């Protein structure tokens, strides 16, 4: 028996068996043991009693829980209000941009009004019939500021309409049923308005220069 145990082959087998067992233990610890490791900051030997103690120490009554729930509710409702306010602001900003674009387009069309030259010819002849030749420059400048001599000009804020910017627009109807599109009709009304209010275009322009309306 002693010879068998001390035989070279036997000794070799025993040594190899020990090595394989050691390697197997190391591999198992490296592969499977890692999943049982506690997360950082947690004790390696946290017992069931420790866990129960932690949960017991954080017990709260319904009032305390209600305070937390209310805070969460308030936070959620505030978030929804903030989101709603942002959406409404975006809508307002969009409407403001669209309104500005519309106004700019109206102003562009007014400046490029192809009938402005003809409208001025009508006005000059009609003003001359009233004896206002000397006030032509004042009339031309006045209605240039008001409407750029566009018979379809409309103030988006006040609703004033036409070459003389009548307000309300329906007042122009006293000069003719075609007041919406007829520049002579609008000019006739505008000249009568100026005569009744300022005596002549010179007086109307003088007033406009000081007040920016007439």
Q: How do residues 108-118 score in pLDDT, each as one tens digit?
A: 655 556 689 99
Q: Residues 57-91: pLDDT tens digits?
A: 666 677 866 866 787 787 778 888 998 999 988 98
Query: Cα dist. 182→130, 144, 185, 189 in Å?
Result: 20, 17, 5, 11
| Rounded CA separation 121/68 (Å) | 79
Could you tell me the two tokens for 40? 């950082």
Helix (H) or strand (E) holding 213: none
Mean pLDDT of 198-207: 97
The two three-digit tokens of residue 175, written as one number: 């000069």
- What pLDDT score does 35 carry? 52
Q: How confident is the model at residue 32 (pLDDT cuts 50, 70, 90)?
A: very low
What global pTM score does this model have?
Answer: 0.50
Q: Which residues contact 4 (CB under 8 A, 6 or more apart)?
A: 10
What percent of the chain stands above pLDDT 90?
48
Considering only the C-alpha atoms of the chain, give the largest distance between any 2 of them, rounded to a whole number of Å: 150
Mean pLDDT to the nearest integer, 155-162: 94
> Any idea which residue has 């007829």 for tokens?
182
In the chain, the percentage of residues whose pLDDT exceeds 70 is: 68
* Angstrom distance (rounded) from CA 89 to CA 85: 6
Q: Given this model, what pLDDT does residue 58 score? A: 65
């Amino acid at each position: 028996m002693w010879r068998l145990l001390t035989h070279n082959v036997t000794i070799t087998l025993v040594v190899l068996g020990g090595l394989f067992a050691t390697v197997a233990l190391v591999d198992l610890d490296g592969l499977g043991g890692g999943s049982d490791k506690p997360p950082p900051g947690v004790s390696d030997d946290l017992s069931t009693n420790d866990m129960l103690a932690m949960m017991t120490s954080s017990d709260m009554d319904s009032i305390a829980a209600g305070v937390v729930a209310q805070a969460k509710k308030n936070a959620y409702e505030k978030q929804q209000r903030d989101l709603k306010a942002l959406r409404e602001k975006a809508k307002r900003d969009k409407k403001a941009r669209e309104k500005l674009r519309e106004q700019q387009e109206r102003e562009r069309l007014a400046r490029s009004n192809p009938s402005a030259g003809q409208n001025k010819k009508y006005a000059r002849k009609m003003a001359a019939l009233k004896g206002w030749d000397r006030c032509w420059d004042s009339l031309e400048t006045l209605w240039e500021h008001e409407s750029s001599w566009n018979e379809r000009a409309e103030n988006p804020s006040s609703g004033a309409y036409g070459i003389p910017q009548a307000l309300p627009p329906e007042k122009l109807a006293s000069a003719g049923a075609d007041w919406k599109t007829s520049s002579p009709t609008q000019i006739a009304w505008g000249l009568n308005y100026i005569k009744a209010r300022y005596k002549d275009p010179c007086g109307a322009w003088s007033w406009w220069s000081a007040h920016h309306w007439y």
